[in-house]
Chain A
Amino acid sequence: MLGTIIIYGFINSSILVLVAMGFNLTFGISGVANFAYGAIYIFSGFLTWIFLNSLGINYLLSIFLTFVCTFLLGYLIYRFILLRVRGLSLSEVMATFGLGLAIMELFRYFDFVGVKYSLPVFIDGSVPIFGNYVDYQRLIIGIIAVAFAVAFYFFIHYSKVGLAFRAIAQDDVTALTLGIDPDRIGAISLALGSSLAAMAAIVILPLGTISVENGYEVLIDALAVCIVGGLGSSVGVIVAGLVIGYVQTLTANFFEPRWMILVSLAAMALVLVIKPSGLFGKQKELEERV
């Protein structure tokens, strides 16, 4: 029992961290709203499926092509939509949310519904850990989540682009005086965030079927993890992912799985009431409340 909770809690947390990372990169770190995130997530799932099954390209190549496409999609969203409403936070939210709605419902219209829309697992089979059989795909999710979390931390804190992301969120005018072009960095941030969404989708979606509703849930989960962890914090995402992931697993084990989504919502509400900047957020601590 304990082993099950530890392992599945860890995998659940890994899923949350993976899902939230791209959203955090765009919305948390660089302060660019991207509420089309859920749509981009399922878009990459369906795109890979189309490359794989309709066009008959091999799996690795279609994954690569999906990365390229989502990167471009993110860049285009910034270039043609967000750039024009930059700075008006409500308009940013509205425009990206409207776009996300359009993308997701387009898939529903073209009838992308059903069991056949699922991606193949990377390696079939399972391995016993603490007496539980864990399939390889879930192990891969855990490993990739840990690897990306570490890489993400170093990227945000030590690379030039990562530092520029944080710079434009703090003060884009000052960033400009130091030779950082906020528009270019914003576009890169959205493009990279979108490819991270694609990465999460490709790793996680083989566990089930791809459905349009997934997009909405992913957005809520990503938002919950980012808010609880604190906007602008890369450590916060990991901690919040672990906390919410384990609480969800405990809830599913001791109550019922349908309470799981309530955990992320309640955690978000609670953190916003008590400490709105999140567990690890520092940037906005003075701005958020009167």
Chain B
Amino acid sequence: MTKRKERIDRGIKVRSDGIYALNSYREILYLAFPRLLPVVGLLAVVPFFSLYWQEVIASTAIYALLAVSWELLYMTGLISLGQSLFYGVGAYIAGALNASWGFPIYLTVPIATVGGGLLCALMLLPVLRLRGIYFAMVTLVLPLMFSRLVEATRILGGTNGLTGIDSFPNHWISFCLIQIALLVAFFGFRRLEGSDYGLVIKGINDNDRAIMSSGINIYWYKTQVLFLAGAVGCFAGAYGAHHDMFAGMPGFALDYSILPIAAAAVGGMGSFAGPLLGAFILVPLSEILRALGALRIVFYGLFLVFAVVGLPEGLFHFIRRKYEQIERWVEVDK
């Protein structure tokens, strides 16, 4: 008597799939609940946390922005092992403009976002033809090179970094800015994914030659995607520089590269919600583990291994399956 697992979509999922068929609050709620969860969670629940945990959530949001930007690149088939490049570039631009030239904060952040995105896209332009592991290696090397360059040439404050950067006028502005930016990036990218544009970039990942033969310039699309992802990452960097009142070599450190990828691996790749979920699990987790001191990174590494090996599809896809489908064991016909 052999059995197999059968998965069937829930009735409510099938009924509410077509937007025109919504005919009860239950169905509307079924659709709206997962989408409203991050909005309500970030804007209505987190402000009631203690100041310490609000700060933790703010730094979680920085990593989440990098993770969402990583996912956009991944969707296009560009695997980035160096998200810290974006963070570092954004932080240094905002820091240098503010600390050295005295630009006010409402100018440095937009300039760092757009200018940093352009700069990152320009830097990666020569390697756009690469794909897979080779592109990944370049992105791994670039931030390491930048931090060594800063160390060796002593430009931009050298190993001490840039200090004396203005902080945000008050706690609530800084807090709201990062949460809203995260939500805008997250829902914006989701919207992009659903449009024709998203279809093209996903096509580049699946079969770039087929897209080329449809008469679409894939390099131009890749450049645009790099700019978008870079701008989001640079915003995170610029925000981080003003938040910490510091921009320096730690911006190019491995933390900012590894954590977004780890978030994507834990949360599940292939959708923007996965990395977001992953970031909101991993960063608070590492905060809780801080009590363990140096052992924290050991647990962290092991957690990563278990997540990658034990749940390869990622947590988000697992939860989504439970939310949308019922599972049951059925007998296999002989």
Which residues of the partner chain B approach A258 to less than 8 Å between Cβ atoms?
Answer: 151-152
Quick one: which of A91, A266, A290 contacts B265, CB cutoff 8 A? Answer: A91
Contact A95 B137 (CB under 8 A): no
Which residues of the partner chain B approach A108 to less than 8 Å between Cβ atoms?
Answer: 294
Quick one: which of B142, B209, B299, B302 contacts A290, CB cutoff 8 A? Answer: B209
Q: What does DSSP make chain B's interface, helix, strand, loop or mixed? A: helix
Which residues of the partner chain B approach A273 to less than 8 Å between Cβ atoms?
Answer: 126-127, 138
Q: Hey, what's the 0/1 contact readout for A210-227 against B, CB within 8 Å counting as 1?
A: 000000000010010001
Nearest neighbor of A102 in chain B, beta-carbon distance: B301
Which residues of the partner chain B approach A109 to less than 8 Å between Cβ atoms?
Answer: 293-295, 298
CA distance A272 to B152 in the complex (A): 23
Contact A272 B132 (CB under 8 A): no
Stretch binding the partner chain, chosen from A82-90, A127-135, A172-180, A201-209: A82-90
Of residues 90 through 106 on chain A, the ones whose CB sits less than 8 Å from some CB of chain B are 90-91, 93-95, 97-103, 105-106
Quick one: which of A91, A102, A261 contacts B298, CB cutoff 8 A? Answer: A102
CA distance A289 to B131 in the complex (A): 6
CA distance A220 to B148 in the complex (A): 13
B185 near A: Cβ within 8 Å?
Answer: no
Q: A95-B304, A262-B148 are in contact. Are A287 and B141 (CB under 8 A)?
A: no
Interface size for A (C-beta < 8 A) is 40
Q: Hey, what's the 0/1 contact readout for A157-183 against B, CB within 8 Å counting as 1?
A: 000000000000000000000000000
Quick one: which of B129, B145, B218, B301 contacts A98, CB cutoff 8 A? Answer: B301
CA distance A103 to B302 in the complex (A): 9
Quick one: which of B151, B261, B269, B309 contacts A85, CB cutoff 8 A? Answer: B309
Quick one: which of A90, A101, A259, A288 contacts B301, CB cutoff 8 A? Answer: A101
Cβ distance B149 to chain A, nearest Cβ, rounded Å = 7
Contact B132 A287 (CB under 8 A): yes
Interface centre among A287, A288, A290 (most CB of B within 10 A): A290
A198 near B: Cβ within 8 Å?
Answer: no
Cβ distance A239 to chain B, nearest Cβ, rounded Å = 19
CA distance A258 to B158 in the complex (A): 13
Contact B137 A227 (CB under 8 A): yes
The 22 sampled A-B contact pairs (Cβ below 8 Å) are A84-B309, A88-B312, A91-B309, A93-B81, A95-B308, A97-B258, A98-B301, A98-B302, A101-B304, A102-B297, A105-B298, A105-B301, A109-B293, A109-B298, A220-B144, A227-B137, A258-B151, A262-B152, A265-B141, A273-B126, A290-B129, A290-B218
